[in-house]
Amino acid sequence: MDSENEKSKFIQLIEENKRIIYKICQSYCPDKNDREDLAQEIIYNLWKSGRQFNSEYKFSTWMYRVALNVAISFYRKEKTKTAAVPIDEVLHLADKNHENTEADEKIKLLQTFINELKALDKALMLLYLEGRPYIEIAEILGITETNVATKINRIKNNLKEKFTDIKN
């Protein structure tokens, strides 16, 4: 990936997937300042791993693997600083011109619940929420497809309970 053309292609890929990278950073890094470091770390590792990109995998599988591995390692290093992720900042930016809607509340709650999950469960749920097929989630995580389905159901049920508790 050394030529200018390849660099441009890489940047285009990052641009296309920046929302995913941002959401991974948001979920694994509570500190806003550190979050940019994590994003850089992910992009750097994507660039570095690009040389070893194995075409037998889909690009998204490869990208999720690298991004989530870097994020989990970063999260484990920084865990001592862990605090509630201030997701309000995203909503705050969006809310400048709008009233706080029910949709915002839902996003906020979902994001809060995801942040409370353990590192690996968090990865699983992020992939599920991104709409990745179970077979791809299994490939990214390195567990069986059945296990993916069971775990997702279990986490969804937990979330459901939490949503219900809040509602009541």
What residues from 69 to 108 belong to the interface with another protein (CB under 8 A)? Answer: 69-70, 72-73, 76-77, 79, 89-91, 93-94, 103-104, 106-107
Q: Does 29 bind another protein (CB under 8 A)?
A: no
Q: Does 1 bind another protein (CB under 8 A)?
A: no
Q: Does 45 bind another protein (CB under 8 A)?
A: yes
Cβ contacts of 60 within 8 Å, gap of 6 or more: 132, 136
> Residue 59 has which token pair?
């690009």
Distance CA 120, CA 68 (A): 9
Q: Does 11 bind another protein (CB under 8 A)?
A: yes
Q: Does 58 bind another protein (CB under 8 A)?
A: no
Q: Does 134 bind another protein (CB under 8 A)?
A: no
Q: Does 135 bind another protein (CB under 8 A)?
A: no
- What 3-state class would DSSP assign to 2? coil
Contact 161, 110 (CB under 8 A): no
Task: State the residue for tokens 């930016």.
Answer: 93
